[in-house]
Chain A
């Protein structure tokens, strides 16, 4: 018995050692990351084999219609013409937290896809780990930078690196309060210009048995992406600008007032019952099926809303101060690290970089052609046949005097985003005090700034 116990213990120890070695982290990718110059030496030897097809992997979001259309109708269709010797493996990453977790798992292993789509808060995680390729030399070499109307989008950071290329569509996206003209006409409802009028309107609509405003409440989505910022800007846009530039924190009294306004909306029954469990699709459906009179959503859904509900119109979010004209103030979505990134560990960095730029261009083409929406990246497409609603949206966007970037998209890291989402979800219950919200968010904010 002793003999066999000894044998078993030795064997188990051996297995553990093997497991330890097998599961040990792979060497840090840093060694190859900064060697950008290797592009023209090591990899050319790989690329100069015309007979062999190069294989690269592309990871993209697959849970929303726009991203799927861009991939299926543009990237997949045009890539073989642009990259005849490249075989692309399409990795569908889902959406939301699933996508984030998948990307984080790739990042932890160091084995990133060659190219992927990412939002700002996820991009920072990958860049900090050293897994993102500096695209700046390739952008300059190919003249990609010359295609941009807004040159800031292709400027390197303070370290002289550019990790992300984007189509420049985001800069035109802004949160709107969409509404059904038919419902408003039928019930003689007036469009609100102030926050108090909005609350009164919500109570009236609720009395009609309709949901006043449909929002995406799951994980506090609408509050995260814009509602808190919208409510801050409704009183004092400068506070939102200061937050975006990290010059103030969330204990600012204007933030407190903004949170109280959201609480007031919740308590007035402005949102659907069980709002904290309503996801993106059901929120849109609630509006398009006319169960809700209004919808709080970004203008990236304009084309889809027009198709599903032709009676759709919008108003800018009402102000909460005499000093703020709703038409003058606008929040835009763009963030420097939201777009296409390439892996620093790619076997074919030059191909990966070019494919990332190609994806950004296809993305812009989609918005120009299908959505008839402008982009900062000039694709050469002349946008014609713009609908009156899209034109109204663009006119209001262009004429706004104050344009504030999204705090969520441009400023938060992954940890701050997660904590902010948790607190916003609780805020939507109407049973959570703004003071508790401020205390929790400020704690995460202090770490975010570090």
Chain B
């Protein structure tokens, strides 16, 4: 018997080739593709695509959620665009997006670069610490930050007072100047580690030979990171940009639990404002108009990211 592989004979190899071909035939079958994708498509259609249509209709109506009180054309849209709170909510939302993109993501990347250089036990600890806040319920995280920000006995103010900085000990969640940044910190902190972990998996996929060549050329950690790691991470960066920007845009739970959009309407995000208008004020027409405008904002942002970030896929 001719030995062509240390562990397998000809017959075994033939069987393996047949199996691979059968699998190719199976996955090349359009019906199979359809059968596999149908459940997801079905759910997506019923819960995502379908609700958009009635929402568009309702946005042109005077509607309190129970009754359609007539078609009013663009009035809801005009009211929304003239509403100061809607613009404040947009400002708050984009503030969180800005902090996420230009502060939180670079910090995550820095953590990932540091993690790559850590010893194995430290890395294991770091991985656990990174994932932990992301898997804990938002309610728990929000309550924890409420306690941190508590004006009289909260951790933050206690530290500030202990350091003799009493004047900086504020009512963080009740002061109109600090409430939005305070919520942003709580929200971004929760996902900082997870983003770092995703960056880290991207770093691990970069072939070591690039770094070996760079080392031979005399490049240090910072130069290698700047010239090799960051450029080759553009697929991961694009993914994280889309996920974190859209996640920040849809920010609701932290605001609902930590301040209920307050004081007053000062910390509302667009999604929270939409919820408030529809459910608290019972103006579903205006609520749906906000929703449609929000969908357009999200589409525009996604379009911009796709246009300008990582247009071509990198293959190692």
Q: Give the B-binding residues of A (Cβ under 8 A).
A: 1, 4, 7-8, 11-12, 15-16, 19-20, 23, 97, 100-101, 104, 107-108, 125, 128-129, 217-220, 272-277, 414-415, 418-419, 422-429, 431-432
Contacts and interface: CB of A to CB of B under 8 A. Distances in A.
Given A4-B31, A219-B260, 5 more contacts: A4-B30, A218-B262, A273-B152, A276-B263, A277-B259
Given A104-B279, A219-B262, A419-B281, A429 B65 contact: no
A272 B153 CA distance: 12
B175, B264, B266, B282 — most chain A CB neighbours (10 Å): B264
Given A12-B45, A97-B280, A104-B65, A276 B262 contact: yes
B135 interface: no
Nearest to A16: B50
22 contacts: A4-B30, A15-B42, A19-B50, A97-B280, A100-B280, A101-B279, A125-B66, A125-B282, A272-B151, A273-B174, A274-B149, A274-B152, A276-B263, A276-B264, A277-B262, A414-B281, A415-B283, A422-B264, A429-B174, A429-B175, A429-B176, A429-B263
A427 B279 CA distance: 23
Given A4-B30, A108-B65, A428-B263, A272 B152 contact: yes
B274 to A, nearest CB: 14
Nearest to B65: A108
B282 A104 contact: yes
B264 A4 contact: no
A403 to B, nearest CB: 30
Contacts of A217: 174
B41 interface: yes
Nearest to A291: B152
B260 A107 contact: no
B211 interface: no
Contact of A15 (B46, B53, B173): B46
Interface string B135-152: 000000000001001111
Given A273-B151, A431-B176, A425 B279 contact: no
Interface of B: 30-31, 34, 38, 41-42, 45-46, 49-50, 53-54, 64-67, 146, 149-152, 171-176, 259-260, 262-266, 276, 279-283
A414 to B, nearest CB: 5
A160 B179 CA distance: 50
Contacts, number: 111
Given A12-B45, A415-B281, A129 B66 contact: yes
Given A15-B46, A273-B152, A422 B265 contact: yes
B276 A418 contact: yes
Nearest to B68: A25
Contacts of A426: 176, 262-266
A196 B146 CA distance: 34
**Which 8 pairs, one residue from A and one from B, show the smallest C-beta to C-beta distance?**
A426-B264, A273-B151, A274-B171, A276-B263, A274-B151, A418-B280, A274-B174, A425-B264
A105 to B, nearest CB: 9
B34 A129 contact: no
B42, B53, B171, B280 — most chain A CB neighbours (10 Å): B280
A129 B45 contact: no
A8 B146 contact: no
A108 B279 CA distance: 11
A4 B49 contact: no
Given A8-B34, A219-B260, A418-B276, A276 B174 contact: yes
A218 B124 CA distance: 42
Contact of A19 (B45, B65, B259, B276): B45
B79 to A, nearest CB: 11
B263 A425 contact: yes
Contacts of B64: 125
B297 to A, nearest CB: 23
Contacts of A428: 174, 263
Given A104-B65, A274-B171, A425 B281 contact: no
A273 B46 contact: no
Contacts of A418: 276, 280-281
Contacts of A97: 260, 280
Contacts of B54: 20, 23
B45 A15 contact: yes
A293 B175 CA distance: 24
Nearest to B149: A274
Contacts of B175: 429, 431
A104 B30 CA distance: 46
A107, A218, A274 — most chain B CB neighbours (10 Å): A274
A7 B37 CA distance: 13
B102 to A, nearest CB: 28
A223 to B, nearest CB: 11
Nearest to B49: A16
Contacts of A425: 262-264
B278 to A, nearest CB: 10
B50 A20 contact: yes
A423 B264 contact: yes
A261 to B, nearest CB: 19
B262 A107 contact: no
Contacts of B30: 1, 4
A224 B172 CA distance: 23
